[in-house]
Amino acid sequence: MCPYPQDITQLQYEEILRAVLRIYRDCKITTFPINFRDILKHYGFRVYSYSTLREQNEEIFELCCSYTNDSFRWKDIIGFNEKAHNRRIAFSLMHELGHVVLKTKSEMLCDIFASHILAPRILVHKFGCCNAEQIHDQFGLSYSASNNILSDYKAWFDHICYTARKPLPLEQELEMLFFQAHAEYKPLKVPRQKKKRLTKRQREMDERAAFFQEQRLIYGEEYVFHILEEQWIYGNSY
């Protein structure tokens, strides 16, 4: 089982979670999609579209365009390309915030930060999102971003199931902002085969059920049943 997340260290991941949790608390975020403009305003940033920047300061506009077509930060000013889709703009602006709160120049870390502040994996789980469309609807993300987050969520879930069997304390704190819990956190359940004497038929049925469950975890609940049947009976792979 590969460690989660695969591209950064556990300490870096926890740093991102800590920053997300602090922003949620500071800005009193309790609903999704998050209001990314209010977040930036809370932290003292002035946000302008590229066209507005061009009208107000041609020099800053030229500086922004020379670096990126999406967004750019200069001191307390963040410019963004208003021609992009609104959901793309949200990701770009949160990426710029990531550079500040994480105090890093790493583009990868800021991309991961933007992804997690827009849709924390623990909340993808708690809201019961099983496919990209549900993530899109719940968190207000593009379908492309929702697909990426769905894939990452499955890696997150698998990692928990096969290690501590419960989220990190920081993830549990994020959950508590949205869901009240009065008892000790219950570990995520992983299907386990009962230790008992089984007939050959029972063993086959248990093995088949375990196979289907594994495929559902990988491909989601929308995976067509007859395709699973074909894989089980004939070993076909689609």
Find where tokens 């990190």 sit.
Answer: 168
Tell me if 191 is assigned to some domain.
Answer: no
Does residue 204 share a domain with residue 172?
no
Tell me if 129 is assigned to some domain.
Answer: yes
Write the pLDDT tens digit of every residue in 92-116: 999 999 999 999 999 999 999 999 9
How many structural domains are present in the chain? 2
Does residue 160 share a domain with residue 93?
yes
- pLDDT of residue 91 exceeding 60: yes
Does residue 104 share a domain with residue 48?
yes
Does residue 162 share a domain with residue 115?
yes
The percent of residues above 90 in pLDDT, for the chain, comes to 49
Task: Classify residue 79 by its DSSP letter.
Answer: E
Q: What is the pLDDT of residue 75?
A: 86
Tell me if 5 is assigned to some domain.
Answer: no
d(CA 61, CA 53): 5
Does residue 211 share a domain with residue 155?
no
Q: Tokens in use for 201?
A: 């038929």
pLDDT band at 164 (very low <50, low <70, confident <90, very high): confident
Does residue 158 share a domain with residue 89?
yes
Under 8 Å between Cβ of 71 and 88: no
E-assigned strands of the chain? 46-49, 71-74, 77-80
Query: Which residues form the domain of 214?
Result: 200-234
Does residue 45 share a domain with residue 110?
yes
Tell me if 190 is assigned to some domain.
Answer: no
Mean pLDDT of 36-63: 85
Does residue 225 share a domain with residue 121?
no
Does residue 163 share a domain with residue 90?
yes
- pLDDT of residue 23 exceeding 80: yes
Tell me if 15 is assigned to some domain.
Answer: yes
- The chain-wide mean pLDDT, for the chain, equals 81
Under 8 Å between Cβ of 34 and 91: no
Write the pLDDT tens digit of every residue in 170-193: 999 999 998 874 444 555 555 555
Q: What is the pLDDT of residue 219?
A: 59
CA distances from 75 to 41, 46, 72, 101, 114 (A): 14, 10, 10, 14, 20
- pLDDT of residue 216 exceeding 70: no
CA distances from 234 to 111, 114, 200, 211, 224 (A): 42, 43, 20, 14, 16
